[in-house]
Structure 1
Amino acid sequence: MKNITLLLILFSTSNIMAQPNCESFKYYGDMIKYEACQKAMEIKGHYQFSKEYQTILDKAIAIDPTYDYPYWAKSVAYLKSGDFVTWKKLIDKAVELNPIGHLGYRGWCRYQFFRDYKGSIEDIEKLDSLVDYDIGHSQNGTYHLNIAKGLCYKGIGEREKAIGILEKQIDLNEKQDFIGAYDYLHLGVLYYETEKFEKAIEMFTKQAETNDLAENHYYLALTYRELDRLTEYKSSLKTAKERYLDGKKMSDPYSNPMDKIYLEDIESELKNG
């Protein structure tokens, strides 16, 4: 529960941090950006999909076309509305103007919304090459960006590389006492898929201790089946169904997370098992 609370704090903080500090431009004598920033901040209180919201940001861009924030803010509304072509044009411009500020966000969106694994890897690795500090977490706070990168490598079939990336980042996360909601699960599934069954069980056990999910017990059952431990296989499937019906399952309001399962998956396995 502690880790989940930390994730919520991080998510809240990330939204606050997204708001620019206009006074910093004034302090450094960049009055054009200061004026553009002040104009952009007039979006507060306006609905993202409203004409007023977009018009204010257009005016900010007119004041200073080199200011990245209005392009990013406009892009978010288009992403949420499903206009991905316009989103891409706007976020690409924001990245061009401020790569360190927006590469992580674009990389995460490429993974979360489009399963553009190669594009996501490119953005995250580019960001990592530009900074000498921790590259941070996904926009929704669920994953460290390195975990997301590892999942992208899994997505393109490079499972062993994915395992190495997840192992390294999870080790760092454990030292900071900040494990992501699904970190152990994803690594456990990778171990299962590469026939490292004992390691898979270890990860699924850790996942159950931090954030007990239907997916965790489902993949644990599959692992037990491979080891011919049929009593534990059936027990884990029953627990998976219980967790699922209790609503304890992977979720994302915008897309289906990697390794997510459905009730029919569990029931099919129960029937065939």
Structure 2
Amino acid sequence: MNLFVAAFAWIVDPAHWTAGPDISGHLLEHLAVSGLCVLIAVAIALPIGVAIGHTGRGRGAAILISNVARALPTLGLLSILILLLGIGLLPITVVLVILAIPPMLAGAYAGIESVDRQTIDAARALGMTEWQIIVRVEIPLALPLLIGGLRATALQVIATLGIASAFAFGGLGIYLINGLATADYTQLLGGAILITALALVVDGVLALVQRFVIPRGVVIGRSTADGPQKRARAPRPRALQEGMQS
């Protein structure tokens, strides 16, 4: 318990927030690199996941690739890339993107697949093109699951980035490495608390976004027979027709 008290005292010490390299600088660095990796992962995984969910093709291959990516040892892969590319941000970014793609890919195709097929058939009957169906019907209805995949991706990147400090990178993980190297367990625990707090804050923000991205007109119901369940009812054809005209 005394160690936790000392760790929190170390975190709130003004000297650690003003004297460089300070906590605020490492925090911004951690956020910047995490955001970059998440954006790259989303840019790669989201279109692929949407295409798989819309067409129903390639789902087995996507699951296989995701499982292989999850099984890769982070430190081992990072060590190999550093030998090939040298020490720097590039190998760290590549490793984090590889680890971040599976949860985003899973959230994307699962979200699109969850859309009621009758809704899609109604959209086609109204003359919507496949692209219009994806943009105006499937993605809006799948947004909660898409944001869920984004939450898992962000947590994966923020947590894993802490170990990158062992390879000449800053971020909040530098406190883990320095604390371990100098047997300064107060700094070690303080760094772990900071990374955990950052992950929880980001997850909380995305959870709020996930709560409010349900499209207007989609009813969230409950099943009394099977227990509490969230169910998105298909929009009526009139609503789809209004979406085409807008």
Instruction: Tell me the TM-score normalized by structure 1.
Output: 0.26
Higher RCO (Cα < 8 Å, 6 or more apart): 2
TM-score (norm 2): 0.28
